[in-house]
A = this chain, B = another copy of it.
Amino acid sequence: MSQFGKSDFPVENVRRYLEPGPIVLVSSAWRGKTNIMTMGWHTVMEFTPSLVGCMISAGNHSFEMIRRSRECVINLPTTALTDTVVGIGNTTGAEIDKFAEFGLTADPAEKVGAPLIRECHANFECILRDDALVGSYNFFIFEVVKAHVAEQPAHPQTLHYTGDGVFMLSGRIISKRELFRPEML
């Protein structure tokens, strides 16, 4: 398996990667151009269908690309990409090609036109499911229709933003399974 070798992953389990609150990279495509933005404001909303709610400010170049194509890929970067994540968040796709600028590889997705970012730990292909709050809040509800996740490491080190240029890195993993009722797991 290559460095970025990934397996299919059950879409109903994406909470495992998104619920802890990592910064993600959102890739999109529209009329022959691609773009990438950083996003920290998102939440899992349902297991099945696999729904993720995302704030994409209208000021982002990606906003119209995603609103028009009604698709995107949510990519999970690890700390190996820290400076790239910051760079992507501090530039605009209106001026540069972010894949080229940051040396990232655009792999074809299976179910959407937006590209996967090969160098990320996981890639979640998304279709816009509900745009009811896009006009009022810039809030997009996506359905994850296909998920690709690297098999190792089991718990990648992720970036969690706190504002002011400061990130919290994911730390120790602990299990409290013995305290859960079986139906709550």
Inter-subunit contact B86/A179 (CB<8 Å): yes
Q: Are B141 and A155 in contact (CB under 8 A)?
A: no
Are A53 and B168 interface neighbours, CB within 8 A?
Answer: no
Are A137's CB and B167's CB within 8 A?
no
Closest Cβ–Cβ distance, residue A41 to chain B (whole Å): 5
The distance in angstroms between the C-alpha atoms of A141 and B139, with both chains bound, is 11
| Given A137-B141, A139-B45, also A175-B166 (CB < 8 A) | yes
Identify which of B13, B17, B53, B136 contacts A43 (C-beta below 8 A). Answer: B53
In this complex, which of A17, A44, A166, A168 has the most chain B Cβ atoms within 10 angstroms of its Cβ?
A168
Contact A173 B166, beta carbon cutoff 8 Å: yes
Overall SS of chain A's interface: mixed
Q: Does A172 contact B (CB under 8 A)?
A: yes
| B162, A15: Cβ atoms closer than 8 Å | yes
Shortest beta-carbon distance from A147 to chain B in Å: 14
> Is there contact, CB below 8 Å, between B175 and A172?
no
A97 at the interface (CB under 8 A from B): no
Are B170 and A160 in contact, with the CB atoms below 8 A? yes
Residue A96 interfacial (CB < 8 Å): no
Query: Residue of B at shortest CB range from A87?
Result: B179
Contacts of A20 in B (CB 8 A): 21, 160-162, 168
Known: A82-B174, A86-B176. 19 other contacts (CB 8 A): A19-B161, A20-B21, A20-B168, A21-B21, A40-B44, A41-B43, A41-B45, A43-B55, A45-B55, A45-B137, A46-B137, A86-B180, A87-B179, A155-B162, A162-B173, A165-B177, A166-B177, A167-B173, A169-B171
